[in-house]
Structure formats: structure tokens, C-alpha cells
Amino acid sequence: MGIYAPSTGTFFLKNTNSPGGADLAFSYGPSNATPLAGDWNADRVDTVGIYIPASGTWFLRNSNSPGAANLVFSYGPPNAVPLVGNWDGQ
């Protein structure tokens, strides 16, 4: 699980579903983005991404760390609500 602080664009990720401090904390993307998590490269590790509602643009990263997006694309109309899932099991 994790939480996202919109004002700073910081992710706080935890490896157990329990109270306590985050295992990982880092900033990714601009402030006030829509946070995402998923296994973008099918390596069985979920990593962060962000969605920018105004442009419908997705910025997905393959590691849980600051840095540039590994995958950038637009999908859907502006101001949609993004969904993440493994729809085909692959």
C-alpha cells in the first residue's frame, strides 16, 4: 500500500499492510498529479505512475524512485478518471 502527498508529489510506499513508517519515500512528477501504481513492464513488481487529468497524459515509471518516466502516452479525453489493472492476465 501507499499514500501520495499531492502538494509535493511525494509517494510513501509500505511493503506491509500495517501502521508505521513508509519503507520508501520519494517524489515523482509534478505536484497535484493523479497517482497510479501498477506493473507496467510485467516483472511482477508494481511501480508508480502519474496521470495528468488536463491532458489525459500518463507518465509511468518502472522503478519506485525519482527520475524520468519510462513510458509516456496520452489515453482518453481530458479529465477522465484513470483505472489500472491487468485485464488479460499477461
Binding site for Ca ion (CB under 5 A): 39, 41, 43, 45, 86, 88, 90
The nearest distance, CB 24 to Ca ion, in angstroms, is 14
The nearest distance, CB 42 to Ca ion, in angstroms, is 7
Find, among 46, 47, 54, the residue nearest to 30 by Cα: 54
How many angstroms separate the CA atoms of 80 and 7, rounded? 21
Nearer to Ca ion, 2 or 53 (CB): 2
Cβ atoms of 84 and 37 within 8 Å: the answer is yes
The nearest distance, CB 79 to Ca ion, in angstroms, is 25
